């Protein structure tokens, strides 16, 4: 029996919902190319001067560098811990597996502002407010559940018989892990790392509490610009964030296709 297509009403609703979601993004992108000295839509002239100011101004450039360094730290920590935890949960026989999983997924369940307040009190006691390495570690806590969910799915696609075959041929556990498991799961690891980087790069609430004046990230800089004095360059900064998000999604799509291709080749 042939499948029925979507009803015209549902298609119209989905189209309108997409339009409502995309309209603010399109407006911000158009405003970033405005040639005027204030935010006005639609702009009467177009220019790249706000991007020139964004990449040329020391304050904006420093916030971009801070966001990138913090995101790299968070990406490395979250991906490493998440991969090891996912492998232990998939292959392990621990009794408290569900409890451990729920505990590691807690950061996406607890409201971010509560997590940020708790982190701030700990950070203030340790005197680490504004420390980029510590901020990256705190961002990794929020990115870890995303990494874990992606890698759980990726590692479940690794055939356990391949590991058993390598062990039967005399390979050690560590050699099996690095020579069999990691290469097969690498596309999923790369996807998880990209999303961990993006989760940290776009993080605002935790950064507001922990960054201080020494490690002001790009989202915090945008927030301060909107809160204290609306600068037209903020549209260029927001467009840059949107472009980074789009690039990460494109790369993730490529890694997903690579992972599907490897999975098809691995099937007998």
Structural domains of the chain sorted by starting position, each given as residue range(s) with its CATH number in brackets: 59-266 (1.10.3720.10)
Band the pLDDT of 100: cuts 50, 70, 90: confident
Can you give the pTM of this predicted structure?
0.82
- Say yes or no to pLDDT of 89 above 80: yes
- Say yes or no to pLDDT of 85 above 70: yes
Q: Looking at residue 265, what is its pLDDT?
A: 59
Q: Looking at residue 260, what is its pLDDT?
A: 65
Please give the average per-residue pLDDT across 170-176, as a whole number: 80
Residue 21's alpha-carbon distances to 190, 209, 223, in angstroms, are 28, 29, 21
Query: In 3-state terms, what secondary structure has residue 214?
Result: coil
Please give the average per-residue pLDDT across 198-222, as a whole number: 84
- Say yes or no to pLDDT of 1 above 50: no
Band the pLDDT of 229: cuts 50, 70, 90: low
Please give the average per-residue pLDDT across 119-136, as a whole number: 87
- Say yes or no to pLDDT of 170 above 70: yes
Whole-number Å distance between alpha carbons of 149 and 101: 10
- Say yes or no to pLDDT of 110 above 50: yes
How many percent of the chain have pLDDT more than 70? 91
Please give the average per-residue pLDDT across 162-182, as a whole number: 80
* 12-28 pLDDT per residue, tens: 888 888 888 888 888 87
> 42: cis peptide before it, omega within 30°?
yes
Mean pLDDT estimate for the chain = 82
Please give the average per-residue pLDDT across 184-188, as a whole number: 81
Please give the average per-residue pLDDT across 50-68, as a whole number: 85
- Say yes or no to pLDDT of 51 above 90: no
The radius of gyration of the chain's CA atoms, rounded to the nearest angstrom, is: 22
Give 155 or 147, the one with higher predicted confidence. Answer: 147
Poorest-pLDDT segment among 74-78, 88-92, 160-164, 225-229? 225-229
Q: Looking at residue 76, what is its pLDDT?
A: 93
Please give the average per-residue pLDDT across 100-119, as a whole number: 87
φ/ψ of residue 40, rounded to 5: -150, 130
Give 95 or 106, the one with higher predicted confidence. Answer: 106
Cβ contacts of 224 within 8 Å, gap of 6 or more = 216
Q: Looking at residue 4, what is its pLDDT?
A: 57
Check if the beta carbon of residue 144 is closer than 8 Å to that of residue 104: yes
């Amino acid at each position: 029996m042939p499948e029925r297509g979507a009803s015209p009403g549902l298609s119209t609703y989905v189209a309108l919902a997409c339009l409502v979601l995309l309209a603010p993004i399109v407006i911000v992108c158009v405003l970033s190319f405005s040639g005027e000295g204030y935010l006005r839509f639609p702009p009467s002239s177009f220019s790249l001067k706000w991007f020139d100011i964004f990449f040329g101004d020391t304050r904006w450039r420093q916030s971009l560098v801070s966001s990138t360094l913090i995101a790299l730290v968070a990406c490395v920590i979250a991906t490493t811990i998440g991969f090891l935890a996912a492998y232990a949960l998939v292959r392990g026989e621990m009794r408290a597996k569900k409890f451990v999983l729920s505990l590691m997924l807690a950061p996406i369940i607890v409201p971010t502002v509560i997590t940020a307040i708790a982190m701030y009190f700990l950070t203030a006691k340790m005197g680490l407010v504004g420390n980029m390495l510590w901020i990256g570690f705190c961002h990794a806590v929020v990115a870890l559940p995303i990494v874990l969910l992606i890698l759980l799915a990726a590692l479940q696609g690794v055939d356990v018989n391949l590991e058993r075959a390598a062990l039967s041929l005399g390979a050690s556990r560590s050699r099996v892990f690095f020579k069999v498991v990691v290469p097969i799961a690498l596309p999923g690891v790369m996807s998880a790392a990209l999303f961990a980087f993006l989760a940290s790069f776009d993080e605002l609430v935790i950064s507001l509490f922990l960054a201080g004046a020494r490690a002001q990230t790009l989202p915090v800089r945008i927030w301060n610009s909107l809160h204290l004095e609306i600068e037209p360059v903020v549209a260029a900064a927001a467009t840059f964030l949107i472009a980074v998000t789009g690039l990460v999604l494109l790369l993730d799509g490529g890694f997903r296709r690579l992972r599907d291709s490897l999975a098809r080749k691995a099937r007998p």
